[in-house]
Amino acid sequence: MSFARVISEMLNQNHQGRVGQSRMMGNMIAIVTNNVDPEDRYRVKVKYPWLHDTEESFWARIGTGLAGKEIGQFFLPEVDDEVLVTFQEGDFERPVLVGSLWNGEDKSPRDITYSPDHIVDQIPNQQQGGKNDFRFFRSRMWHHLMFKDRPGEGSISLRTKKTHELYLDDTDGAEKIRLYDKDQKQWLEIDVPAKLITLETDTGDILIKAKKTITLDCKDLVVKASKTIKVESGTSSEWKAGSTINWKSSSTSDYEASSVMTIKGSKIDLNP
């Protein structure tokens, strides 16, 4: 017996949809049984709790906030997720999934962790005192995109399960943009009030590379190393100052050329 026939006989409806088929107006709660669409059309199959477990629906299209040619939102439900299904023109052969539902077993999120300080905030609105400050998406692996809409303390967090994070902090007077790894050993920080950009690693190296030109343009440039500074050029190296160049060593200074060395000045003082 076909699935449509089972539905038809169980409901015993007099309303007719397409020829010879019973109609069902309204919505049904269902459980996803299959999310591998053989036609790759972003569809799922479901079962209805009030039917036998072996009875499975026709392929159900999924309603989403945006859908177009190769564009849109892609959130495919997991098998065993509870969903809400309606039927196009009341036809059981044309189910449409219109939303997902939490339930007593699959509960809504209780809390969320974010920021370099690993802040933990409660999500239930009762715990928030009715403020309803949070909007977020959390995936099966617990990657999340969070929007905190608390006045004066707004922020956006894009965070992985391993706690790599891009954190945009709009806290009044302390606005910052931070990108850091799970151990907070490598990070980039833009401190808006301090007008300071910091790129730092505690454990590794920083590589800046370009096929053409790298330009550092500033008022004052300070280069400091606790051990060695090495400048190497494939062809030539030019140092130029509008006024004075000072070279100073607390120990030994060596200047060497494999060919000709030219020292030129209006006056040259050696060990004055």
Segment 219-254, tens digit of pLDDT: 999 999 999 999 898 888 888 888 888 888 888 888
Q: What is the pLDDT of residue 168?
A: 99
Query: What residue segments make up the domains of the chain, in order of their start?
Result: 3-101, 111-201
The pLDDT tens digits for 38-55 are 999 999 999 998 887 778
Q: Exposed (0-12), middle (13-18) or buried (19+): which is 190, by Cβ within 10 Å? A: middle
Q: Could you count the other beta carbons within 10 Å of the beta carbon of residue 224?
A: 5
b/e sequence 121-145, b meaning 16+ C-beta within 10 Å = bebeeeeeeeeebbebeeeeeeebe
pLDDT of 248 reads 86
Query: Which residue type occupies 12?
Result: N
Q: Supply the pTM of this predicted model.
A: 0.82
pLDDT at 14: 40
Written as one letter, the residue type at 256 is E
CB 116, CB 129: distance < 8 Å:
no
Contact 158, 166 (CB under 8 A): yes
Which segments of the chain have a pLDDT < 50? 12-19
CATH architecture under which domain 3-101 falls: Beta Barrel (2.40)
- Maximum alpha-carbon separation in the chain: 114
Quick one: pLDDT at residue 2? 58
Residues contacting residue 91 through CB under 8 Å, at least 6 positions apart: 17, 18, 21, 23
User: How confident is the model at residue 268, as a pLDDT?
Assistant: 84
**From 3.10.450, 3.40.50, 1.20.120, 1.10.10, which CATH number describes the 111-201 domain?**
3.10.450
Q: How far is 205 from 105, CA to CA, in rounded Å?
A: 47
Q: CB under 8 Å to 178, separation ≥6 — which residues? A: 116, 165, 166, 167, 169, 187, 188, 189, 190
pLDDT at 11: 53
